[in-house]
Amino acid sequence: MSVKVIIPTPLRVYAGKADSTEVSAKTVGEALGQLTNKFGDLRKHLFTEDGKLRSFVNVYVNDEDIRYLSKENTPTKDGDTISIVPSIAGGFV
């Protein structure tokens, strides 16, 4: 099943400047795995050394935060859109 993965602007430099890509995956984890296989430089920005999704990387399936679903085991279906949203820290000056 084909799902679209949206690549955020700050990470596009590591993905050949692509803004999105299509992968065939049954879960979010499979989709992210295929994404990082396709664009190897993305791996260190999305995952820790031990293969866990970095805490500052938020992932959504059709606008639903996977942290409140089944995390990387969240199932995907044909036509779903996965969005990667890095957290941005900041504050008032």
Report pLDDT for 88: 72
User: Stretch 14-31: mean pLDDT, rounded?
Assistant: 96
Question: Does residue 39 lie in a domain region?
Answer: yes
Helix (H) or strand (E) holding 29: helix 28-38
pLDDT above 80: residue 57: yes
Report pLDDT for 81: 98
Q: What total number of domains does the chain contain?
A: 1
Which strands form 20-24's sheet, in the order they lie side by side? 20-24, 2-6, 81-86, 57-61, 64-65
Which residue range forms the structural domain that includes residue 65?
A: 2-86
